[in-house]
């Protein structure tokens, strides 16, 4: 046995960190991620934002946390590493890589050019294209179960095609994010849907059925707005932009054959298979069609250059385009982990109970407010949902709210703000995707996160709707005498603390 092996085995094993103490208490634990948020906003407003630049802000936040932490540096570092290894980040990153490869395989075969051709042929230009993009993105996200994967695929394929046919660039990006949020809220296989059901001790089908009416109301208003106001190519591309010239240069119907793998992903996902399974089939079918129809040589899909010692192609680009973003996500999740370990959540629960007293509507507003606040500081929606879940379950059970209702209020702000805020994971992912397209399409202009926020209309509408629902009590349901597995009832049964005001 070597000296290094003996040293490794002799190193004391540190148990999982259960608690971190910060100067300034719970607020001190939030300062590191607030540092990152300020950094993200300032760099966005000054238009110097980059993915690596945002990661630098996150690292600075972690260093600030080390200074504020009352425990020794070893304990703090152990907590940071625990944050890096949380399953939430790993699942999301792997999904992005597969979605990125899928989108690149379709792009290299000319699906974007095919979409440009068909949009111009049927007259789906400007605002009509933007509205249709929202509908398609919502359907795709509802099928594959990932809003982030939808942002990658539609950002790569639908966004440049929409710019070419005169869609408003920022509204088109907002339509993609809105569709992603729609599917994230409604999809039975969405991670946020599953987490909201599991943490509230209930079933996914019942949760989806219960929230359907709310999602549809916000979605219908959203699609009308995009159909009315989604046109205006000159906003993103400048005065010299000529849609007709772009259509003439980039339009080609040959790539439309690649709608087959796109449809295959939808069908396989709707049949209940995991996202990675459906995307893998889409990648394989896309590669086969590219080769069979001569849309792209195999070297465009995967190329090993032995002289230069490099590997390139669509599959490599699909992963490489999101490596920097994956690092950023790991850092953000670690920042959020500090808040969880500080016990700030428990303090918030006790404070809220003292303020709510016996008013059910106050309990629901408190749930809405806390889940929203956590999504502001924990910018990966599933991570924020996991952090908020114990609070929602505790408060909801105290007032007899049915698990379906609790899951609605837990997942709603999460699905909204995860795509709205300039530093939110979904929005930053789309910005990364769009800015990478500027190298392939000279008519696509780079964007900064703060430009997109005002146009993610579904997110704002759903968030506002759930606040109104909480205050008014629309369709509020309680647990019956049979408990959470029984049918929801309109009033709390005898003996329950809640009083529906």
DSSP-derived secondary structure for 276-338 = HHHHHHHHHHHHHHHHHTTSS-HHHH-EEETTTTEEESHHHHHHHTTHHHHHHHHHHHHHHHH
> Which range, of 26-30, 197-201, 385-389, averages the lowest pLDDT?
385-389
- Mean pLDDT calculated for residue range 244-265: 80
**What pLDDT does residue 239 have?**
42
The pLDDT confidence band at residue 145, using thresholds 50, 70 and 90, is low
What's the structural domain count of the chain? 1
Does the pLDDT at position 243 exceed 80? no
Q: What is the mean pLDDT of the chain?
A: 80
Query: pLDDT over 70 for what percent of the chain?
Result: 81
Check residue 14 and give its pLDDT.
Answer: 44
pLDDT at 179 over 80: yes
CA distances to 124, 242, 287 from 156, rounded to whole Å, are: 19, 21, 17
- 191: in domain: yes
Residue 29 has pLDDT above 90, yes or no: no
pLDDT mean over 400-417: 88
Asked if 403 and 112 touch (Cβ cutoff 8 Å), the reply is no
Check whether 11 has a pLDDT greater than 70: no
Nearest to 477 by CA among 209, 216, 198: 209
For residue 143, the model assigns a pLDDT of 66
Owning domain of residue 219: 88-323
> Residue 480: inside a domain, yes or no?
no
In a domain, 346, yes or no: no
3-state secondary structure of 198: helix
pLDDT of 166 over the 50 cut: yes
For residue 379, pLDDT beyond 70 = no
The answer to whether position 242 is within a domain reads: yes
SS3 265: helix
Q: For position 27, what pLDDT does the model report? A: 80
Residues 337-376 as b or e (16 or more Cβ within 10 Å = b): bbbbbbbbbeebbeebeeebeebbbbbbbbbbebbbbbbb
Whether 381 shows a pLDDT value over 90: the answer reads: no
pLDDT at 251 over 50: yes
pLDDT, tens only, 41-85: 787 677 666 778 878 888 999 999 888 888 888 888 888 888 887
Nearest 5°: the CA angle 346, 426, 82 is 45
- Residue 49 has what pLDDT? 63
Evaluate whether residue 182 is within a structural domain.
yes
Backbone angles phi, psi at 17, to 5 degrees: -70, 125
Identify whether 99 is part of a domain.
yes
Cβ count within 10 A of residue 224: 12
CA 434 – CA 119 distance, rounded (Å)? 20
Compute the distance between CA of residue 374 and CA of residue 364 in angstroms, rounded to an integer.
15
In-domain check, residue 93 = yes
Residue 234's pLDDT band, with cuts at 50, 70 and 90, is very low
Q: Supply the angle between the helices 323-342 and 360-377 in degrees, to the nearest 10.
A: 130
Residue 297: predicted pLDDT: 92
Check pLDDT > 80 for residue 154. yes
For residue 215, the model assigns a pLDDT of 92
pLDDT of residue 219: 94
* Residue 466: C-alpha distances to residues 191, 242, 366 (Å): 20, 42, 12
How does residue 238 score in pLDDT terms, banded at 50, 70 and 90?
A: very low
Question: Is residue 173 assigned to a domain?
Answer: yes
Q: What is the pLDDT of residues 257-307, one digit of tens each?
A: 988 987 888 788 767 677 688 889 989 999 999 999 999 999 989 988 888
Query: pLDDT per residue over 305-350, tens digit each?
Result: 888 888 888 899 888 877 877 787 788 778 877 877 887 766 666 6
Q: Quick check: 466 pLDDT over 90?
A: yes
* pLDDT exceeds 90 at position 158: no
Residue 490: pLDDT band by 50, 70, 90 thresholds? Answer: low
CA distance 315 to 319: 7
What pLDDT is attached to residue 216?
93
**For the residues 94-121, what does the mean pLDDT come to?**
79
191-225: per-residue pLDDT in tens?
677 778 877 878 777 888 888 899 999 999 999 99
């Amino acid at each position: 046995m070597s000296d290094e092996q003996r040293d490794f085995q002799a190193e004391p094993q540190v148990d999982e960190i259960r608690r971190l103490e910060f100067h300034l208490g719970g607020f001190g634990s939030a300062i590191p991620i607030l540092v990152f948020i300020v950094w993200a906003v300032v760099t966005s407003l000054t238009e110097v934002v980059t993915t690596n630049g945002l990661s630098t802000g996150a690292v600075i936040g972690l260093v600030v946390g080390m200074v504020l932490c009352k425990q020794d540096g070893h304990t703090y570092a152990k907590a940071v590493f625990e944050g890096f290894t949380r399953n939430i980040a790993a699942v999301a990153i792997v999904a992005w890589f597969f979605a990125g490869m899928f989108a690149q395989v379709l792009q290299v075969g000319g699906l974007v050019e095919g979409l440009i051709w068909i949009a111009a042929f049927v007259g789906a230009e400007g605002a009509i294209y933007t509205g249709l993009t929202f509908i398609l993105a919502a359907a795709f996200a509802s099928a594959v179960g990932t809003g982030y994967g939808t942002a990658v695929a539609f950002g790569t394929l639908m966004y440049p095609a929409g710019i070419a046919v005169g869609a408003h660039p920022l509204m088109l990006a907002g339509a993609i994010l809105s569709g992603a949020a729609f599917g994230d809220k409604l999809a039975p296989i969405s991670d946020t849907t599953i987490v909201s059901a599991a943490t509230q001790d209930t079933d996914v089908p019942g949760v989806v059925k219960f929230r359907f009416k709310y999602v549809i109301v916000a979605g219908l208003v959203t699609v009308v707005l995009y159909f009315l106001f989604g046109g205006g190519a000159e906003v993103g591309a400048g005065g010299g932009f000529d849609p007709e010239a772009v259509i003439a240069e980039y339009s080609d119907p040959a790539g439309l054959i690649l709608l087959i793998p796109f449809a295959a992903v939808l069908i396989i996902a709707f049949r209940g298979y995991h996202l990675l399974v459906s995307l893998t089939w889409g990648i394989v079918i896309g590669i086969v069609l590219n080769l069979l129809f001569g849309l792209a040589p195999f070297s465009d899909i995967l190329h090993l250059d032995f002289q230069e010692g490099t590997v390139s192609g669509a599959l490599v680009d699909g992963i490489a385009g999101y490596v920097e973003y994956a690092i950023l996500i790991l850092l953000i999740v670690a920042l959020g982990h500090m808040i969880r370990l500080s016990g700030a959540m428990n303090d918030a629960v006790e404070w809220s109970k003292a303020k709510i007293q016996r008013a059910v509507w106050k309990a629901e507003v408190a749930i809405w407010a806390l889940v929203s606040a956590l999504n502001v500081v924990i910018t990966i929606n599933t991570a924020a949902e996991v952090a908020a879940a114990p609070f929602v379950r505790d408060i909801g059970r105290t007032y007899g709210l049915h698990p379906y209702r609790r899951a609605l209020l837990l997942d709603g702000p999460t699905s909204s703000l995860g795509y709205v805020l300039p530093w939110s994971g979904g929005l930053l992912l789309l910005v990364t995707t769009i800015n990478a397209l500027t190298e392939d399409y000279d008519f696509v202009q780079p964007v900064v996160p703060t430009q997109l926020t005002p146009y993610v209309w579904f997110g704002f509408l759903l968030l506002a709707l759930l606040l109104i629902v909480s205050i008014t009590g629309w369709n509020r349901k309680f647990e019956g005498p049979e408990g959470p597995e029984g049918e929801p009832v309109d009033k709390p049964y005898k003996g329950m603390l809640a009083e529906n005001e």
